[in-house]
Structure 1
């Protein structure tokens, strides 16, 4: 059996066996609106998240309607997940509601092109960690695991061979307190562009124990970002899904939302810290879809 098969088998075991102890009736809103380039893998990604969510006791709902960004609506979720967003995908009232949600302990997850939206919104740049700059052509590359103790990397080989876009960023996410967990191995692919000061080693995925997008001394949830996830095929790969769900479940364990903390100010109001049964109800809003 090859090392790749072993890794994928381990990833599948993680998906099936570990999740029930990580999250309790958590509810996550996937926001996949785009204003510029649109990835054709977005429907595949949404389907992968929603179909695997019940294994983790997570209910995913999906919207591309910025009107859903109100204090009342966002307060129902234990995390917001920005998926492949590009351009100005929120108006000013929606940004205010987003900021309020983060200030109340809301958690944040961002995947792939989500670092390329709301480019002039400072709190968003801090919450995601860094804004996208450019990427070389899609190609085979090696990603080095910097920290294999994190739930999003513990199943990965030390050198993870992928076909994806190796993102470059406009700043170093470590300057706002992010911890690096994956790094693009620059010797493994071709990039003829000019890097800005994004730090060394090359940032590819990271986390923030306290999301830097909160205002002042407000309560901060966790933040997780991975720049991988370009292709439809990537979202059908067990190892990649284990990486993503490891990041999601880690983020939910911030203890700042109702999935784990009955005193929290945001999160699924139906969540129970003693129950392991996922909620069966779906949203009544026509702008939201759930698994």
Structure 2
């Protein structure tokens, strides 16, 4: 939970557009996240409209969260706005098939950490908590039994500077596929203190990714809290270039000459977007 004394309520944009496989759990996941927003002093907005990815709109959010997105969910204008947002200190959270998204967009892959390769069938398996001290994992048992999809990745996220905090115990489940070089232990969730998707000269905010898709709202909310507490956005740092510039909890206004004329027009009700499912390897 965030404890920053002068923190305003953080604004988080959930983006759940899909162009390939679509998870039926998306609406449930959105509601579960929103149920936790007061606990982390945040406001969740959600959309599937790629036209919301503009400089002006994104500048009002402290975190952009890709929830089970798949495929080419942004046009070039949206990608450019997202890149600029990250360069200005914006933060990022990816959940589940966010790693099967924008597969040819280098800055996104770096900000995320690694792309999805394949997964074996849904089954029970054991998750090893690699780092029990991180705020997102401190409430978890060292050995965590889950029913989920044990994602495999096309590269090792540690190669771009990510720190793995959850790993799949490969002896606890059946996987007949051929792994690519994703490193050891088998990564399932990781973080970046400074997201690698930022261009040279930019202000790198935090990035967090989890491949686990059957939503555990406490685990996910704590990961989001950790990303926000990097203090690179306006909700926690009046010098931030993006984020919510509302008054702090003591009631005094935070001023920032870079504040946008509007803080985002995204509705709190999800739009349908272009979400027709197509053949995909994710499920």
Q: TM-score, normalised by structure 1?
A: 0.85
CA contact (8 A) 2:2 2:229 kept: no
Secondary structure of the 1:87 match is coil
Matching residue of 1:167: 151
Bigger relative CO (Cα 8 Å, ≥ 6 apart): 2
> How many angstroms apart in 2 are the aligned matches of 1:284 and 1:73?
4
> How many angstroms apart in 2 are the aligned matches of 1:284 and 1:117?
23
Aligned CA-pair RMSD: 1.7
Matching residue of 2:268: 289
> How many angstroms apart in 2 are the aligned matches of 1:20 and 1:252?
8
Matching residue of 1:115: 99
> How many angstroms apart in 1 are the aligned matches of 2:16 and 2:191?
20
Matches within 5 A, 1:10-159: 19=1, 21=3, 24-159=8-143
Task: Quote the offset at 1:205 in angstroms.
Answer: 0.3
Task: Quote the offset at 1:20 in angstroms.
Answer: 5.5
> How many angstroms apart in 2 are the aligned matches of 1:262 and 1:216?
23
Matching residue of 1:15: none
Q: Name structure 1 gaps, 5 residues minimum.
A: 1-18, 277-282
Secondary structure of the 2:21 match is coil
Task: Quote the offset at 1:52 in angstroms.
Answer: 1.4
Task: Quote the offset at 1:24 in angstroms.
Answer: 3.6
Task: Quote the offset at 1:259 in angstroms.
Answer: 1.2
The structure 2 residue matched to 1:243, chosen from 219, 225, 229, is 219
> How many angstroms apart in 1 are the aligned matches of 2:240 and 2:3?
20
Offset from partner CA, 1:227-261 (integer Å, 9 cap, x none): 001xxxx33xxxx2221111100000111101110
From the superposition, tell whether residues 255 and 290 of structure 1 become closer, same or farther in structure 2 (CA, over 3 Å): farther
> How many angstroms apart in 2 are the aligned matches of 1:108 and 1:181?
17
> How many angstroms apart in 2 are the aligned matches of 1:205 and 1:271?
34
Task: Quote the offset at 1:51 in angstroms.
Answer: 1.7
Secondary structure of the 1:86 match is coil
Matching residue of 1:264: 240
Q: Aligned pair count?
A: 258
> How many angstroms apart in 2 are the aligned matches of 1:214 and 1:284?
22
From the superposition, tell whether residues 284 and 184 of structure 1 become closer, same or farther in structure 2 (CA, over 3 Å): closer
Greater helix share, 1 or 2? 1
Secondary structure of the 1:53 match is coil
From the superposition, tell whether residues 180 and 284 of structure 1 become closer, same or farther in structure 2 (CA, over 3 Å): closer
From the superposition, tell whether residues 154 and 91 of structure 1 become closer, same or farther in structure 2 (CA, over 3 Å): same
From the superposition, tell whether residues 146 and 271 of structure 1 become closer, same or farther in structure 2 (CA, over 3 Å): farther
Matches within 5 A, 1:206-285: 206-229=190-213, 234-235=214-215, 240-272=216-248, 274=250, 285=265
> How many angstroms apart in 2 are the aligned matches of 1:46 and 1:290?
10
> How many angstroms apart in 2 are the aligned matches of 1:146 and 1:162?
16
Q: Does residue 198 of the first structure (1) align with residue 182 of the second (2)?
A: yes
Secondary structure of the 1:224 match is strand
> How many angstroms apart in 1 are the aligned matches of 2:3 and 2:227?
14
CA contact (8 A) 2:2 2:225 kept: no
Matching residue of 2:255: none
